[in-house]
Amino acid sequence: MREQFLRLKGTYILILLAGLSAASAWASPEDQCYRMYSRLTGVSPKIQDVKACTDLMAQGKVDEAVFAMTDHEFFYSETLKSIFSAWTNKDRKVLTPLNDFSATAIGLARDNVDFRTLLTSDVVYTCEGAPGLPAYSNQNNNHYKTCETNANLKTALVAKKQSDLNPMLKNKTNVPAGAFTTRAFAESFYMDGTNRVAVKETLASFLCEDIPAFHDTAIPDYRVRQDIERNPGGAAKSYVNECKGCHAGMDGLGGAFAYLDFDKTTAQLIYADDKPQKKYLRNSLTFIDGYKTTDDGWINLWATGPNARVGWTFAEGQKPEGYGPRSLGVMFGNSDQFSRCMAKYATEKVCVDNLDLKSARLVALAKEFKDSGYNLRVLFAKTALSCAGE
Amino acid sequence: MRIFSPHLHLSLWISSLLLASCSQGLLERRQNPVRIPDAPHQDNSDAGAVSDEKTETPKDTPPPLESPEPYHLSYGFKSGRQLFNSYKNASLWKPSPSAIQLFNAMEESLPIKGYASDFDSTKQGNIVKLASIFCAELIGDAAARKAFFTTDYALLTPTQLTPEAKAAIARTLMEGLWGYETKAMNMVEMEKILVDLQTQVLVGNVSVAQAMAGVCIAVASSMPAVML
């Protein structure tokens, strides 16, 4: 009897889903509004929300109807935060407390600011007006944890200058640099190690590809640092065919972070522009003829060859090199793949689609994103429209 | 007021069945997705010029967004936090400290990314727990209950629980928690649950408020199966 009931119920649900699927191909304005609203905000619309949307659509104001949905509290605190949170830790965990990195990304999106500035600007969003809110600190995350619990992120975030809140970043040439000089980024990616993880995570978060995707053994290895064994386990071929393929490009880019570290004792970001952090010169005897870091210069050796597919974009006569994280952020933000990567996040979240970075849909959405002045809310609204049904 | 009794286990069981059936159906869909053919890759290598080594290749010409490329309609589950938000958004529910504590403690064992692969029996069980505390607090709080249902059905006697009242309870819950799109789809299914619960009410095993909570849990814990 129970099995029979289960079978019946299962059949019923499958029929129901088939009905949903069939209905979706011929979605009414109500269907479209419902779907876009629930996918953008993560919560079901109320009847009046659907009506407001269909009324605007009836007047031909489709873009306006969808864009309004991106101003919902949960679009910021759930939809965007769940994407940005994964960028702020090595494990790419979504369930991570709000921090200065994710708060800044949310704030820039809310304020319709060019989203590329997340990698370049002297900006950090802090919280205001939340009950029991501790003061902002460069040494802990309490301010943001409380903000997330006690405040509405749609209204509580306020833009400040990083250089005003962190004296180490004041009057410097190559910093502040948006996310790269936030405490959360430092704690996750500059602490310990060699800062190579900062390159790895930047590629993963902002170009949507991990280091192995960039593997290219054809580029010169003169930027591979001294701590990399050139004859690992007695097999020089292993270095040439494997290690070099990633390190040549990665170490070239990693120079940008040479002045940055995270001090575990004081629990804060460190920036010192007089000499590279010690970690850059550690194990220098492993291969003494390797690259010795002397400043925060970086070069993109992946700008040509197979990794030119990223669509790096430089001004006329500009070389793919620079100093410090800000210029690195400019290069990443200007690349075609940055826009396609942001479109990929949007389609995964809003359309539940996992598209290839080369897909025509992502290329088209990336163009919309660029044309909007890199406005993330416009990108998400356009993405919701693209899978709302016809 | 204590809302729950062991007799409501039946409705929890039904909720679980509903969820299990839905998730299986969705799992099958996710495993056999309709794929959109990707456009052939065009290289962008002109953009990354290194002084004299510049390589010229044709630029991408992205198609307009209105291109006839078919979209891939996918279904997703709500994440644990989206569920929690949905309960708050749909009603005047203000989670008690113990509800918040429960949610925080089990958030990692609720769906996180909204994919079928992120959904298992442990998570289903935790969704029912979350739905249970939401329904207990919503129906136990007179102000929130009245605001949500408009009519205070919980104060009816068992014999006043007419078919119209039952249908109104179910419809209000489904429209409020699932939203516009599914409002009519599961009434048949819901009626089976209502008939069973009314039987329990009539024999005196549960109160009307408890029966409402049972229906509420069935609807609230089925939210993840609803298309986002």
Q: Which residues of chain B lie closer than 8 angstroms to A13, CB-CB?
A: 18, 21-22, 25, 225
Higher pLDDT, A63 or B112: A63
> Are the beta carbons of B226 and A335 separated by less than 8 Å?
no
How near does any CA of chain A get to the CA of B163, in Å?
23
Higher pLDDT, B192 or A291: A291
Q: Poorest-confidence range of A41-45, B112-116, B178-182, B221-225? A: B178-182
Q: Poorest-confidence range of A180-184, A315-319, B38-42, B83-87? A: B38-42
| Mean pLDDT to the nearest integer, A51-60 | 96
- B61 falls in which pLDDT band (50, 70, 90)? very low
**Torsion (CA) B96, B132, B206, A9 in degrees, nearest 10:** 160
Mean pLDDT value across chain A: 92
Q: Poorest-confidence range of A221-225, B20-24, B87-91? A: B20-24
- B198 falls in which pLDDT band (50, 70, 90)? confident
Preferred mutation among B82, B148, B171, B195 to probe A, highest tally of A CBs within 10 A? B82
pLDDT at B180: 63
Contact status of B58 with chain A (Cβ, < 8 Å): no
Secondary structure in 3-state letters for chain B: CCCCCHHHHHHHHHHHHHHHHHHHHHHHHHHCCCCCCCCCCCCCCCCCCCHHHCCCCCCCCCCCCCCCCCCCCCCCCCCHHHHHHHHHHHCCCCCCHHHHHHHHHHHHHCCCCCCHHHCCHHHHHHHHHHHHHHHHHHHHCHHHHHHHHCCCHHHCCHHHCCHHHHHHHHHHHHHHHHCHHHCCCCHHHHHHHHHHHHHHHHCCCCCHHHHHHHHHHHHHCCHHHCCC
Nearest partner of A45 among B212, B27, B68, B183, judged by Cα: B183
Backbone angles phi, psi at A278, to 5 degrees: -55, -30
Sign for the CA dihedral angle at B74, B79, B82, B86 comes to positive
Which residues, including other chains, have CB under 8 Å from residue A226's CB and lie 6 or more apart? A281, A283, A284, A285, A286, A287, A288, A289, A290, A291, A292
Q: Which residues of chain A lie closer than 8 angstroms to B114, CB-CB?
A: 352
* A327 has pLDDT over 60: yes
How near does any CA of chain B get to the CA of A320, in Å?
6
Q: Which one of B25, B39, B63 has the shortest CB-CB distance to A14?
A: B25
Q: What would the two tokens of residue A170 be?
A: 């004041």
Q: Which one of A20, A319, A382 has the shortest CB-CB distance to B227?
A: A20
* B8 has pLDDT over 60: no
| Distance from the Cα of residue A311 to its chain's centroid | 18
Residue in chain B nearest A35 by alpha carbon: B228
pLDDT at B186: 60
* A264 has pLDDT over 80: yes
Bridge partners (DSSP) of residue A268 are: A263
Would you say A268 and A140 are in contact if contact means Cβ atoms under 8 Å apart?
no
Sign for the CA dihedral angle at A361, A364, A370, A375 comes to negative
Higher pLDDT, A199 or B169: A199
Q: Which one of A30, A82, A356 has the shortest CB-CB distance to B180?
A: A30
Q: What would the two tokens of residue A339 be?
A: 């826009």
Contact status of B73 with chain A (Cβ, < 8 Å): yes
pLDDT at B71: 54
| Distance from the Cα of residue A300 to its chain's centroid | 20
| CB-count burial class (<10 Å; 0-12, 13-18, 19+) for B86 | buried
> Are the beta carbons of A352 and B115 separated by less than 8 Å?
yes
| Mean pLDDT to the nearest integer, B14-43 | 33
> Are the beta carbons of B39 and A310 separated by less than 8 Å?
no
Q: Which residues of chain B lie closer than 8 angstroms to A98, CB-CB?
A: none
> Are the beta carbons of B75 and A20 separated by less than 8 Å?
yes
* A198 has pLDDT over 50: yes
Identity of the residue numbered B159: T
Q: Which one of A9, A19, A360 has the shortest CB-CB distance to B63?
A: A360
* B193 has pLDDT over 50: yes
Contact status of B47 with chain A (Cβ, < 8 Å): yes
How near does any CA of chain B get to the CA of A233, in Å?
35
Which residues, including other chains, have CB under 8 Å from residue A191's CB and lie 6 or more apart? A261, A262, A264
HSE toward the beta carbon, residue B96, CA cutoff 13 A: 12
How near does any CA of chain A get to the CA of B179, in Å?
5
Question: In this predicted model, what pLDDT tens digit does every residue of A131-173 receive, in sequence order?
Answer: 999 999 999 999 999 999 999 999 999 999 999 999 999 999 9
Q: What is the value of pTM for the model shown? A: 0.84
Backbone angles phi, psi at A260, to 5 degrees: -110, 145
Question: In this predicted model, what pLDDT tens digit does every residue of B131-159 receive, in sequence order?
Answer: 999 999 999 999 999 999 999 998 988 88
Contact status of B132 with chain A (Cβ, < 8 Å): no
Q: Which residues of chain B lie closer than 8 angstroms to A30, CB-CB?
A: 180-181
How near does any CA of chain A get to the CA of B215, in Å?
17
* Residues within 8 A of A (CB atoms), B 159-188 only: 175, 177-181, 185-186, 188
> Are the beta carbons of B48 and A300 separated by less than 8 Å?
yes
Contact status of B122 with chain A (Cβ, < 8 Å): no
Q: Is B106 left (phi over 0), alpha (psi -120 to 50) or beta?
A: alpha
> Are the beta carbons of A16 and B186 separated by less than 8 Å?
yes
Higher pLDDT, A13 or B83: B83
- B42 falls in which pLDDT band (50, 70, 90)? very low
Q: Which residues of chain B lie closer than 8 angstroms to A344, CB-CB?
A: none
Higher pLDDT, A34 or B188: A34
| Mean pLDDT to the nearest integer, A50-63 | 96
> Are the beta carbons of A360 and B186 separated by less than 8 Å?
no
Alpha-carbon distance of A99 to A102, in angstroms, equals 5
> Are the beta carbons of B85 and A43 separated by less than 8 Å?
yes
Kindly state the helix (H) or strand (E) to which residue A155 belongs, with its residue range: helix A153-156
- B73 falls in which pLDDT band (50, 70, 90)? low
> Are the beta carbons of B50 and A366 separated by less than 8 Å?
no
Nearest partner of A45 among B168, B226, B94, B180, judged by Cα: B180
pLDDT at A63: 96
Crossing angle of the two packed helices A100-110 and A376-386, in degrees rounded to 10: 70
Would you say A214 and A365 are in contact if contact means Cβ atoms under 8 Å apart?
no
Nearest partner of A101 among A123, A79, A116, judged by Cα: A123
| Mean pLDDT to the nearest integer, A262-282 | 96
pLDDT at A263: 98
Q: What would the two tokens of residue B19 be?
A: 């969820």
Alpha-carbon distance of A202 to A136, in angstroms, equals 25
pLDDT at B72: 54
Backbone angles phi, psi at A271, to 5 degrees: -135, 120
| Mean pLDDT to the nearest integer, A295-316 | 96
pLDDT at B139: 94
> Which ipTM was obtained for this model?
0.83
> Are the beta carbons of B72 and A300 separated by less than 8 Å?
no
Q: Which one of A50, A77, A309 has the shortest CB-CB distance to B45?
A: A309
Nearest partner of A322 among A174, A197, A168, A117, judged by Cα: A174
**Torsion (CA) B118, B25, B181, B4 in degrees, nearest 10:** -70
> Are the beta carbons of B107 and A31 separated by less than 8 Å?
no
Preferred mutation among A12, A13, A92 to probe B, highest tally of B CBs within 10 A? A13
- B12 falls in which pLDDT band (50, 70, 90)? very low
The DSSP letter of residue A126 is E
| Mean pLDDT to the nearest integer, A60-78 | 97
Nearest partner of A168 among A158, A179, A183, judged by Cα: A183
How near does any CA of chain A get to the CA of B84, in Å?
9
pLDDT at B200: 74
Residue in chain B nearest A308 by alpha carbon: B45
* A91 has pLDDT over 60: yes
Alpha-carbon distance of B141 to B55, in angstroms, equals 69
- B25 falls in which pLDDT band (50, 70, 90)? very low
Secondary structure in 3-state letters for A87-101: HCCCCCCCCCCCCHH
> Are the beta carbons of B43 and A9 separated by less than 8 Å?
no
Mean pLDDT value across chain B: 69
* B50 has pLDDT over 90: no
Nearest partner of A332 among A306, A363, A367, A303, judged by Cα: A303
> Are the beta carbons of B47 and A43 separated by less than 8 Å?
no
